[in-house]
Every structure is written in structure tokens, then in C-alpha cells.
Amino acid sequence: MKKRNNLKIFLIGVFIFLIFGSATGLYAQEIFQDEVIADVAQKAIPSVVNIASSKEVTVEEPLFLFDPFFSLNIPKKRTARALGSGVIMSEDGYIVTNYHVIGEADKVEVRLSDGRTFAANIIGGDPKSDIAVIKIDAKDLPVMPLGDTSKLRIGTIVLAVGNPFGLSQTVTMGIISALGRSGLGITDYENFIQTDAAINPGNSGGALVNLKGELIGINTAILSETGGNVGVGFTIPVDLALSVMNSLIKHGKVIRGWLGVTVQDITPEIAKAMNLNSTKGVLIAGVEENSPAEKGGVRKGDVILELNSKPVINSSELRIRIAELPPGTQAKLKVLRDGKETELNVTAGDLSGASISMGEFEILDNKILGGATVSDITDVAREKLELPQKLQGTLVLKVENGSAAASIVRPGDVIMEIDNKETKNVEELKKVLSGSLGHKISVKIYRRGSVMRFSIVR
């Protein structure tokens, strides 16, 4: 009986120890995490600056002459102001921010965390990636170490540091909610990190930091119907920001690499049609004539699995990685062709020097678009014609004088739909035109920033 009571006492003691020890451990872990977050915040804050930009604009104001129904519009000058954040990238004063923070500003003022204020020079800006670089005349500035974005994981704790609503040195915490976000129409080159760390107006250009105190991104935008934080913020990965920054500093503009391919994501339907085992990689939908890709042996129908030994996630990510290739450097592609993997070496070209020409097709149906020469939309076309990244359709390259197409389309137009059927590429356009169409046909076209519809009566 005595032994049994001793055993009970022992077991109760073990139970109490486990409960108390577990609670103590969790409490200690919580204190440790709090200290880590506080330490990271204190180290990151000095590297994030407040930016105030201003630009003089001319607006017309009505001047009433005796009668309110008769007035003159008098041009008057006003100063447009914007507030944002920036991240110090070098000890001698280079700062990265968003292009939309400084835009075409006349004056930019930077305030450091220690209260010092500097006038900044605009080094350059790239609206396609929404990155801009400014410079202040200072030395020995605090610079954050850079993180490795290839190792980011969904669920990782992050801090957003910036100046929301002009409130300097504000830190919010959240997690990485998603990676590789694209197709949002925020910028032309999208590969966003999504976070639920609170990002509000004024946070733009600020830092997203991991718990190692490393910079992993430049906060850029929020998805919100009210304009305030709802837990969906987007950040430009630091490697993309760094690539744009270096090009702006060195060349005064962004020099982007070019291979000359049209790519698309592999859907389950495409994988089934091509007898692919998975949807991994990116499909080559077209190869431009005399392009670096064609010279390097890339073929239509190839599936790119890797670029420079790094797996290819999706078409948006691949487009950015190609753009980051310095012209003249060699890119190693691992492609899947006819069920076999092979490696190709392609020398990157300069996107700005490329011409718009690829896979031209003449539409033969003279009753609708006869005389129009069209092609798929390539990266070169998007760059040269400043077409939105989300825009899908078939690009019009040429139109014969007096042809059926001449009364509907012009060179540079993008044919988006015919009879409410999407025409995302040449193949789809040809399929729609060869199908059953009514007596009255509607054509949806994108032209210089506007979307319009035309009707054709056959």
C-alpha cells in the first residue's frame, strides 16, 4: 500500500513538473521571440527614411465675370505633394524607393531616423517595376544586410518598416502570405511577396525585413477598397529592386535582357495535351526570328524547366529573370523537348535594341480582317508600345491600304475579342475567324490606352 502511494506521489510530481516546465518553456520562448523582434526593429529603423516630394503643376480655375454662367479658365500653379518611405542601400547615400513616391518630382527631401534632413537628387526611376533611386550627400549611413529571396517561405514572420500617414519609424508585424504574386496590374514586372503586415499610405518604398534583420523587399502597394490596410500588401523582392537600382546608377536607365520568346504557364489541360507528367516549368509558345533564343536552339513547344540552374516557377517569374540578365551574358536553359531533358546556352540580347517582329500571319478572311498582318504579343512589343502587362490579345503589325481590315484596325492595335470570344494569340484569332460567325460581328480592340468596340456587317 505504501509503495502504491509513493508511486502516485511520484506520478503527480512528474505531471506537475511537465505542466510547469512546459508553461515555463513557452513563456521563455515568447519572451525570447519578443526580444528578437524588438532587436530586429531597432536595427532596421535607422535604415528606413521618410521621403517628401513636391512638384509644381498647372491647374485651370474658373474666374466668374459678373454672371456665374459666363466664366474664364485661368491657369494657376499649385504644388502637388507626396509622402513615402525609402531604404538606405549604401553608406554614401543611395536610397531606393518607389517610382510612384517621387514620380517626376521637382524636389525631394529625405529625413533620417536621427532627425537630419537632406535634399535629394533623383538618380533615375523605372515605372515598369515601380523602383526609383535617389541620392543624398551623406556618409557612414546605416545599411541593412540583404536577404536571400530564393529561401523565403510562406508563413515566415516579417516586419514592415516605414512612415504610414507621415508617422515616422512605424513598425508592423505579419507573415509572408504568398510568393510570386503577378497579374495584378500594379506594375509591368510583377513577382510580388504578399504579406499581411500592415501597409498603409506612406509605407510605399519602405522595408520588409525578416527576423534575421535582413532586407527582403521594398513595400509597394496594398489591395484595398478603402485605401487602408486590410491585410493584403505587396512587396517588390529585394533582388529585383537591387538589379533595377544598379542599372539606374550605372546607365541612368534600366537595361533589360532579352531572349526573344513568348511564354505561357502550363495548365493541366496543356500538360494533358502535351503528355507532360506535371505542370512544372513554362511553355515556349513562340520564338522570334533572329532572336537570341532562336540562335541558341530554343524551339516552339519546348518547356523551360530551369534558368541558370534555378527552377522556373511561372511565366511572370521567368520574364523578370530574363529581364535581369545583363545583355551579352550567357544563360543556361534546361528544357524538356519530346520527353527528354536537354541543356541550351543562349546569349542574352538587349530588349531596348530589339525590333518588333515575330511569327507574322496574314489574316485571309477578306470580309472581316483581310489585309491585316498580326502576331502574338511579345516582350519587345510590350516594351516598345507600352502595352499593359495584363493585356492579352493579338497584335496588329501591318494593315494594307484599302483592305477590309483598314476600316477597323491600325498598326499597334491589339485585337482582344471577336464576337465575345477571346483572341489571346494568333492561333485563337484564326480559330475564331474560321468558326461560325453571324451577320453582325463585334470586334473588341485595345488602342493607345483605350478599349473600344467596332461592329462589322457582312
How many beta carbons lie within 10 A of that of residue 81, not counting itself? 11
Q: How far apart are CA 291 and CA 379, in angstroms?
A: 12
Catalytic (active site) residue 204: yes
Type of residue numbered 50: N
> Residue written as cell 485571309?
364
Of 130, 188, 196, 302, the catalytic one is: 130
Catalytic (active site) residue 130: yes
The helix (H) or strand (E) run that includes residue 221 is strand 215-222
What DSSP line would sit under 335-404, residue for residue? Answer: EEETTEEEEEEEE-EEGGG-----S-EE---TTTTTTEEEEEPPHHHHHHHT--TT--SEEEEEE-TTSS
Per DSSP bridges, beta strands 192-195 and 170-181 are antiparallel
C-alpha cell at 385: 508600345
Q: What is the 3-state secondary structure (H, E, C) of 49-98?
A: EEEEEEEEEEEEEEEEECEEEEEEEEEEEEEEEEEEEEEECCCCCEEEEC
Q: How far apart are CA 387 and CA 373, in angstroms?
A: 18
Of 47, 53, 85, 204, the catalytic one is: 204
Of 100, 177, 302, 379, the catalytic one is: 100
Catalytic (active site) residue 251: no
For the chain, the first-to-last Cα distance in angstroms comes to 104
C-alpha cell at 275: 503528355
Task: Answer left, alpha or beta for residue 31, where phi above 0 means left and psi between -120 and 50 means alpha.
Answer: alpha
Q: How far apart are CA 93 and CA 140, in angstroms?
A: 8
Question: In this structure, are residues 94 and 59 in contact, taking their beta carbons and an 8 Å threshold?
Answer: no
Type of residue numbered 95: I
Extract the runs of DSSP E, i.e. beta strands, from 117-212.
117-126, 131-135, 157-162, 170-181, 192-195, 207-210
Q: How far apart are CA 151 and CA 129, in angstroms?
A: 22
Catalytic (active-site) positions:
100, 130, 204
